[in-house]
Amino acid sequence: DIVMTQSPLSLSVTPGEPASISCRSSQSLLHSDGRNYLDWYLQKPGQSPQLLIYLSSNRASGVPDRFSGSGSGTDFTLKITRVEAEDVGVYYCMQTVDSPRITFGGGTKVEIK
């Protein structure tokens, strides 16, 4: 299975400040169709994970534009330009290039200072 490694494990951010989360994969997530099969999810406290970004850089419907994803191959980044209180929770990356053998990162917990 493809191993997904996230860093940092946790992040404490002042509202209005930026935040960045890294995700690295043990194998390339670049498919022969030219797309990187890497998603980002946010699990707010007490809720199910919700889709933020798919195919490395595409924002899901309704996701604020302060969230952006980038990267290719084995290195990916989720950036939040200005963190808001509602952004707290655990962020996960997930690969589907090896579908159906989907694997998740261990998560990055974001809290507000």
- 16/45 with CB nearer other proteins: 45
Q: Nearest CA to 78 among 88, 89, 92? A: 92
Query: Exposed, middle or buried by CB within 10 Å (0-12, 13-18, 19+), for 101?
Result: exposed
Segment contacting other proteins by CB under 8 A, of 7-15, 16-24, 77-85, 96-104: 96-104
Work out the number of other CB atoms within 10 angstroms of the CB of residue 54.
Answer: 19
Structure tokens, 13: 């951010």
- 75/98 with CB nearer other proteins: 98
Contact set for other proteins, span 8-67 (CB under 8 A)? 33, 35, 37, 39, 41, 48-51, 53-55, 58, 60-61
CA 23 distance to own-chain centroid: 7
Q: Is residue 102 part of the contact set for other proteins (CB under 8 A)?
A: yes
- 14/58 with CB nearer other proteins: 58
* Cα diameter, the chain: 42
Contact residues: other proteins, CB under 8 A: 1, 33, 35, 37, 39, 41, 48-51, 53-55, 58, 60-61, 92, 94, 96, 100-104, 106-107
